Structure 1
C-alpha cells in the first residue's frame, strides 16, 4: 500500500501543476503512467484520472472565495453582490457548449486517448500559442466585468474542444480568450472559474458511472484517491499563484514552446513503445 500512496502523490503533483498551466494534464499523465502503474482496475483508473481534479477545483474556491461567493455582510445584514452573480451567469454561459458534447467524453477517451492524438494536440496548440502571441495587440478586455456573454459563449466553444485528449482545457480556453482580445491575466482567471462547474460535473459523472459498474473499490484505492486529491489541492494552490503572477510580466510563448517539445517527446515514446 505504501508504494501505491507514493504513486498517488506523484499523480497529485502532476495533476496540480498541469491542470492549470496550459500544457495538458493528459499528455503528462500518459508519460507518467509509463513508469507509475497502479495495482488497480481500469474502471478505477478511469475514474481516478478525473476525480483527482476535485482537489484542484477546491484550490480555486479557496484562493478566489472572496470573488466567487455572491453574498456578503454590510452593517450586520446579508447582501447580494450583483457583479458576482453576473460573473457566475457568464460562467454558466461558457459551460453550455461543454454540456452539449459531454456525452461523447467516454467515446473520445476510448478512441483518442493515445500517443498520436495527444502529441498532435500538444504540438497544434503549442503552435497556436506562438502564432497568437506573435500577433498580439493591446487587449480590449482587462477586467472580468468587461467580458460579454458573447465572449463567454465563444470561450465555452473553445473549452468544448478540450474533449480531445492532449488539448488542455486551460490551453484551449486561454487561446480562445486571447483571440477575443482578453488580457492574459483576465483570461487566466476566467479559465480558473470555468473549471469549477466543468470539472465538478465530470467528476460526479465518473463517480456515478463507477458506482453502477459493479466494480468494488478497495481500501487501498480509497486511500489512493484521497491522497491524490489532497496533493492536487496543495500543489494547485502554488500553480495558480504562479500562473497569475507569471502572466503579469510574461506572455504564453514559453508554454507554446514547451507544448511542442512535450509533443515530440510523446511521439518519441510512442515510437520506442511500438518497437519494444
Structure 2
C-alpha cells in the first residue's frame, strides 16, 4: 500500500459507508484491482478507517447523542445481535471477505430488493394526523429487530446501512428516521469491529510500522471529510426520491463484475 492507495480506499469508504451499496464490497473490489487485497494490513486498513466515517456521524448529530440514556440503551439493544453473530460466525465472515465473486452476486440481489423497497413500504411515508409520530418512534423491540437485520451485512456486498434501514422500514419507520438510526447504530458497531480487528492483528504477531500508521491517519481523515458530505447528501436525496437509483447502481456494478469475472479476468483476492 502507498499514500495514493490509502486515499482512494478512504474516499470509497467515506462515500459508501452510509449508502445502501456496501462499503466493504466496494473496498474488496477496489483493493483487488489494486493488487493489495490479500495483504493483512489492507484488511486491517479497510476496517479501521471506518472510525473516520463514524466521527462524521458524531459531528453531524452530536446533539442527538446527548438527548437521553434511553437513546443509548436502544443502541445497545440494536448492537447486541452484531456482537453475538459476529463472534459466532467470525471464521465464516473472514472466508466470505476473501471472495469478490460473493460481493458481485450480493450486489445484484440487493439491487433488485432496493428497486422494490419504496413500493413495499410506501405507507411509511404517509403522515398520520391521528398519530403524527407513528413513523418516527423507535421502541426497544424495533431496535432489536433493526440490529438483527444489520447482521445480514456480515455477507460482504449486502450493505450494513441498507440492511438496517430496510429493517427499520419493516417496523413502519419512515425512510429518514430509519436511515438516521442506521447511522447512529454504526457508531458502536464500527467501534466494535475496529477494536476486534486490531486485537486480532496484534494477536497474530503483526506490529504497525510508521508508514502504516501514517496510512491509517490519512485514511481516517479522508474518510471523515468525505462521509460528512455523503451523509447530508444521502439523507436529502433519500427523503425525496427513495432507493431506486441505488438499486440500479448495484445491479449494473454487480453484473459488470460478473461479466468481468467469467469472460475477461477472474476476480480473486491477490
Q: Identify the match of residue 58 of structure 2 among 58, 61, 77.
A: 61
**What CA deviation, in whole Å up to 9, does each residue of 1:184-241 have, x standing for no partner?**
1001100000000000011011111111211232221111111011100000000011
**Structure 1 residue ranges, 4+ long, deviating more than 6 angstroms after superposition:** none
1:98 aligns with 2:82: yes
Task: Report the equivalent of 1:21.
Answer: 19
Structure 1 residue 98, shift from structure 2 partner = 0.8
Report the equivalent of 2:204.
213
Q: Is the 8 A contact 2:56 2:227 kept in 1?
A: yes
Aligned mates of 1:124, 1:234 — CA distance in 2: 30
CA distance in structure 1 between the partners assigned to 2:133 and 2:107 by the alignment: 28
Does residue 170 in structure 1 map to residue 161 in structure 2? yes
The 1:111–1:23 alpha-carbon spacing in structure 2 relative to 1, beyond 3 Å, is closer
Q: Specify which of 107, 113, 134 is matched with residue 119 of structure 2.
A: 134
- Unmatched 5+ residue regions in structure 1? 71-83
Stretch of structure 1 that moved more, 134-143 or 14-23: 134-143
- DSSP 3-state at the match of 1:264: helix
Change (3 A) 1:41 1:250: closer
Q: 1:147: which partner in 2?
A: 138
**Whole-angstrom distance in 1 between the partners of 2:180 and 2:133:** 11
Q: CA RMSD in A?
A: 2.2
1:49-92 superposed Cα distances (whole Å, 9 cap, x missing partner)? 1111000001101111111124xxxxxxxxxxxxx322221111
Query: Is the alpha carbon distance of 1:207 and 1:112 closer, same or farther for their aligned partners in structure 2, counting shifts above 3 Å?
Result: closer
Name the TM-score, length of structure 2 as normaliser. Answer: 0.89
Correspondence for 2:102: 117
Q: Partner of 1:217: helix, strand, or coil?
A: coil
Equivalenced residues, count: 260
Distance 1:225 1:258 in 2: 29
1:11 aligned partner? 9
